[in-house]
Structure 1
Amino acid sequence: MNATIATMTTIRGACKRWTVIAGAFLLASCGGSIDSNTAVPASIMQVMQKPAYKSASWSMLVVDLESGQVIYDLDSNSQMFIASVRKVFSTGNALNALGAQHKFVTPVYRQGSVAPNGTLNGNLILVASGDLTMGGRANPDGTIALTDFDHNEANSLGNAVLSAPDPLAGYNALAAQVAAAGITTINGNVVIDDRLFEPFNFRGEFDVRPIFVNDDLVDVTLSQSAEGAAVPFDWRPKSAAFSVQSTLKTGSATSTLAIGLDPEPPQCIGAPNCVATVSGTVPTGYVPILTNAYPLIRTFRVSEPSNYARTIFIEALARSGVTVTAAPVAANPAQLLPAKGSYSSAQQVAQLTSAPYAQHVRYVNKISYNIGADVTLMQFGLAHNGSTTMAGSLAAEQSELSTVFNISPAQYHFIDGSGGGETTANGKAVVAMLRGMSAKPAFTPYFNSMPVLGVDGSLATVTNFEADSTLAGARGQVHAKTGTYVAENPAAPGMPLLKGQALAGYIDAKSGRRIVFFLTVNNVPITGIPDVLTVFQDEGTIAAMLWKMQ
């Protein structure tokens, strides 16, 4: 077939045209020549040119991992919104700096002497290490428990599946060690030392600190009930620091799903009687999104992590038989902390050791844990040059990308470690990072941390490609990071716009070779989450096509 598409394409960048030769779409700038070596196959272009993408912009770069040969190149020099694909940079650098086997140790120290009757006349201090899970996601085999629909995105996606381990397990273990050290009463206070790095604001919600309980979330579990009845509910963790009440009811089959969380985020954590309310209606016969079954999950943000962790630890001590004379619900008394670095090993009474760092990176990438990625960047900054601020860690990363991976700052715009807001990069920068990581000692855990097409993580449910039997073999052969950025559509106020849906990683192709790829579409008008999931499926199909072709 010989034809020329005369209309302007929606590819971001300069004027371009597509020419169809022997069934392949070949890209050329207006007035330029056609580069047949990087032609984008017609089957892929048919996906990119669906009506839903008529006003959107695509970019793609596909490279042979070993040789660096460019296979397909679609506008790879243009800065595009990449959202959480940004995590391939932050997790890769941190994994290189700390090592896959690094473990975080969270110690507990006593200040003052312990009387023969077990009374500590002084304070007990838990020194936060930046351990993302604090034992709250620990599987029996030492791995970090994950689900395909993580609670960190429950409110934005509309549901989640909670991990099975006790979110308070680490605090209980520390408390048991304190009791085993002979302390029965703390005649003083309990303090969280959260000075590892400077607090940073997470997307306008709260200030992140290096101490965590249940990922800084309180999970609310909603069950099914009959029309007109109250919706049964529960929450975890249970603590005097924060509780939940509900007026949520089951409405008629024609009612609207409307679940209100008030206040969200709660600002009262650290004060007595901190309570939030779940309200609204759930239609009779409603089938929860994502899981197609109850329970339905919503979350409240723990807006004061140190205050919350202090209460949780005091309550864990009580369960271990240790009495604390100080009020359990109060602001964390940071003014009682000694000088940084002044702790003595002789004063240590407990410690919690994390899973290996490879597990933390797996957690961040598989479920696209945003706070975890931001903390990962801070961990890199600390390891790289002792940086304790977000700005300092970003600067340290910029130096690393330039000197180690030969990636210029002009190729990306990062504002945090997770891909928030107007995060951009071009395809060449992303592919350079992915290829560069393949030569690092930590490559295997890095590779294994990526979601797998049709198997796990954020790609677990991307399976529509299997409708084509010739693509079904791609299941399990694509290890890639996803990224989603949704904002208000300026052309249609009140409506959402998928500003970026990106996918990047590795494909073990049908031919036997491994390829590296970057793919993103920007500025897709949508009406809601179902449209985002459709774009997810289309990008998964393109990845499966790449598996088949190469």
Structure 2
Amino acid sequence: MNATSDRKHTSWSIIAAALMLVSCGGSDHPDTAVPNAITQIMQKPAYANATWAMQVVDLDTGRVIYDLSSGSQVFIASVRKLFSTGNALDILGSQYKHVTPVYKQGTVDANGVLTGNLIMVASGDLTMGGRANADGTIALSAFDHNEADGLGNAVLTAPDPLAGFDALAAQVAAAGIKTVNGDVVIDDRLFDAFPFREETGFNVTPMLVNDDAVDISFSSSADGAVLPFTYRPVSAAFSVQSTLKTDSTTTDFAVELTPDATQNEVPQCFGQSNCSGAVSGTVPTVMQPPLTNAYPLIRTFRVSAPSIYARTVFIEALARVGVTVSAAAVGTNDERSLPAQGSYSSAQQVAQLTSAPYAQDIRFVNKVSYNIGADVTLMLYGLAKNGSRTMATSLATEQQELSTTFKITPDQYHFIDGSGGGDTTAKPTAVITLLRGMRLMPDYTTYVDSLPFLGVDGSLTTVTNFEADPTLAGAKGKVYAKTGTYVGLSTTTPAVPLLKAQALAGYVDAKSGHRLAFFLSVNNVAFEGFDTVLNAFQDEGMIAAQIWKLQ
């Protein structure tokens, strides 16, 4: 892996010993009933046929405070990211940095002509400089574009998603290369590509551009008119057409993308001329977009061939700084021309992009629940731990880590990937055991800071309405927890949609001054639209605030 790090690995024997000091099993603690202020929320009519699970533990002593069905396997969705990010943070360290180099494959003459190829070696850098704030942090928003199609809108971050490619291109020009009499090739062999969840035709690779998404940003228009729009990145690799119109007779945002990722479809034309996606449908004339209650309205297309896309945008970045490439910008990525993996010479390096410290990656993944980022995180962990190159071997490596370090045995969870896709399950006690063990790792503070803060940032920015109960206002910024949402179909005939999981787990700095670890989930809630998710979010936020207040 191309990286910079001065990591010293944790003495896990200390953690293992600490975890053995106390049992978190609720059955051993008969005085751990959930208080009425919390059960009143759990007993709302919306949860009549749902099941709740919960455990709250004093982080220092291990005393179980509240317990409800903590030994049962429950759907946890993206709460699973607590495991993948925690292990990766420990093995790589908060100061680890991705280094993405560019090599020349050939010679450069006196006129600046490179006879040969330029090769960019992907490092698993999640952002490639495309979310870089001036202060070195990764830019985030309350509603991330990765969830725009599912949630109905998003807020785009301000930085240029191609900033890293422009920086690399400028370095190539500064190295004296004016013409590339050859091709540009992306070396994406760091780990084996793997399919991303249910999106047929999309494999995750260590090369990412704008989170493997093309953003479309619509402005408002008069009744019956086509909505003005822009898209980014702007590239010959992929363009967007739209006939999306306003309609005064509708109250629905009926936005249709072709191909449509919500139907497991992704564009398959990358590398071909005139590759594009289409947007159609209608939006209400007088109503504002969901979530933000203001335009722009955001939708995205999936970049299903990241290396082909990256090749094109890098050639275009080179052109912007005056470097000509003889190969066509739109085309396939010629991996057959690559040298043996790991055979690059430092003498041939002409540019490199160094990422922000890894603490920023973990913050990105957890604050906005970035699924692709969590899957890449698991792969980077597997590589660093023992050279695992596949999703299956990385999962096996993690399983061994959880068994030996945290004493969390495989029968306590079922993980499919690094992000919490599909029927991901765990016992609440397993999550609590992880949270307790993480407090002894060197980068524990970074880990906690990476989680959404209740009422402050990330996916918990707007969760709790403290005006409804002012006595809970002190919980704002005192709950640090990972959210998880899973909407799927029931196993009944006919199948019906369910909120199969709304989960929340992390830490609470309680009113008493104690730090607590907690897990909370509700499974199999009747799904009546997006409001079902929003209401469950709010209710779990209120429960977390009650934990703060009562303890």
Shared fold per TM-score greater than 0.5: yes
The range that moved more, 490-499 or 113-122, is: 490-499
1:458 aligns with 2:459: yes
What amino acid sits opposite 2:400 in the alignment?
Answer: S
What amino acid sits opposite 1:216 in the alignment?
Answer: D
Q: Secondary structure at the match of 1:515?
A: strand
Which whole-Å deviations, capped at 9, do the CAs of 1:243-294 have from their partners, x for residues lacking one? 0011111112435321111123111011111011110111111211110100
Q: Secondary structure at the match of 2:96?
A: coil
Moved over 4 A (4+): 33-36, 490-495
Question: Which residue of structure 1 aligns with residue 263 of structure 2?
Answer: none
**Residue 386 of structure 1: CA displacement?**
0.5
**Residue 39 of structure 1: CA displacement?**
1.3
1:88 aligns with 2:85: no
- Distance (Å, rounded) in 2 between the aligned partners of 1:447 and 1:371: 21
Question: Which residue of structure 1 aligns with residue 114 of structure 2?
Answer: 120
The range that moved more, 190-199 or 45-54, is: 45-54
Question: Which residue of structure 2 aligns with residue 280 of structure 1?
Answer: 281
Q: Secondary structure at the match of 1:117?
A: coil
- Distance (Å, rounded) in 1 between the aligned partners of 2:85 and 2:43: 33
Q: Secondary structure at the match of 1:192?
A: strand
What amino acid sits opposite 1:432 in the alignment?
Answer: T
- Distance (Å, rounded) in 2 between the aligned partners of 1:353 and 1:433: 31
What amino acid sits opposite 1:549 in the alignment?
Answer: L
**Residue 466 of structure 1: CA displacement?**
3.9
**Residue 41 of structure 1: CA displacement?**
0.4
The answer to whether the 8 A contact 1:253-1:285 is kept is no
**Residue 489 of structure 1: CA displacement?**
3.8
What amino acid sits opposite 2:216 in the alignment?
Answer: V
Question: Which residue of structure 1 aligns with residue 231 of structure 2?
Answer: 235
The range that moved more, 278-287 or 255-264, is: 255-264
Question: Which residue of structure 1 aligns with residue 131 of structure 2?
Answer: 137
The answer to whether the 8 A contact 1:465-1:544 is kept is no
What amino acid sits opposite 1:463 in the alignment?
Answer: T
Question: Which residue of structure 1 aligns with residue 40 of structure 2?
Answer: 46
- Distance (Å, rounded) in 2 between the aligned partners of 1:204 and 1:486: 13
Question: Which residue of structure 2 aligns with residue 256 of structure 1?
Answer: 252
1:526 aligns with 2:527: yes
What amino acid sits opposite 1:102 in the alignment?
Answer: Y
- Distance (Å, rounded) in 1 between the aligned partners of 2:277 and 2:67: 51
The range that moved more, 493-502 or 151-160, is: 493-502
Question: Which residue of structure 2 aligns with residue 69 of structure 1?
Answer: 63
Question: Which residue of structure 2 aligns with residue 429 of structure 1?
Answer: 430
- Distance (Å, rounded) in 1 between the aligned partners of 2:339 and 2:230: 39
**Residue 467 of structure 1: CA displacement?**
1.3
- Distance (Å, rounded) in 1 between the aligned partners of 2:80 and 2:429: 13
What amino acid sits opposite 2:502 in the alignment?
Answer: Q
Rate the CA distance shift 1:154–1:231 in 2: closer, same or farther, 3 A.
same
**Residue 488 of structure 1: CA displacement?**
2.3
What amino acid sits opposite 1:509 in the alignment?
Answer: A
- Distance (Å, rounded) in 2 between the aligned partners of 1:83 and 1:96: 22
The answer to whether the 8 A contact 1:375-1:417 is kept is yes
Q: TM-score, normalised by structure 2?
A: 0.93
**Residue 470 of structure 1: CA displacement?**
1.1
1:177-188 superposed matches below 5 A: 177-188=171-182
Which whole-Å deviations, capped at 9, do the CAs of 1:161-192 have from their partners, x for residues lacking one? 00000000000000000000000000011000
Question: Which residue of structure 2 aligns with residue 404 of structure 1?
Answer: 405
- Distance (Å, rounded) in 1 between the aligned partners of 2:198 and 2:124: 21
1:192 aligns with 2:186: yes
Which whole-Å deviations, capped at 9, do the CAs of 1:83-128 have from their partners, x for residues lacking one? 0000000000000000000000000000110010000000000000
Which one has a bigger Cα radius of gyration? Answer: 1
**Residue 35 of structure 1: CA displacement?**
5.3
- Distance (Å, rounded) in 2 between the aligned partners of 1:182 and 1:50: 68
Which whole-Å deviations, capped at 9, do the CAs of 1:400-454 have from their partners, x for residues lacking one? 1011111111100001000000000001100010110000001010000000000
What amino acid sits opposite 1:348 in the alignment?
Answer: Q
Question: Which residue of structure 2 aligns with residue 162 of structure 1?
Answer: 156
Q: Secondary structure at the match of 2:31?
A: helix
Rate the CA distance shift 1:34–1:363 in 2: closer, same or farther, 3 A.
closer
The answer to whether the 8 A contact 2:250-2:283 is kept is no
Computed over aligned residues only, the root mean square deviation of the Cα atoms, in angstroms, reads 1.3
**Residue 491 of structure 1: CA displacement?**
4.5
The answer to whether the 8 A contact 2:29-2:64 is kept is no
What amino acid sits opposite 2:255 in the alignment?
Answer: I
**Residue 394 of structure 1: CA displacement?**
0.2
- Distance (Å, rounded) in 2 between the aligned partners of 1:133 and 1:280: 32
Of structures 1 and 2, the one scoring higher in RCO (CA 8 A, sep 6+) is: 2
What amino acid sits opposite 2:411 in the alignment?
Answer: A
The range that moved more, 460-469 or 196-205, is: 460-469
The answer to whether the 8 A contact 2:152-2:290 is kept is yes
What amino acid sits opposite 1:172 in the alignment?
Answer: D
What amino acid sits opposite 1:301 in the alignment?
Answer: R
- Distance (Å, rounded) in 2 between the aligned partners of 1:263 and 1:515: 45
Structure 2: gaps of 5 or more residues: 1-25, 261-265
Q: TM-score, normalised by structure 1?
A: 0.93
Q: Secondary structure at the match of 2:487?
A: strand
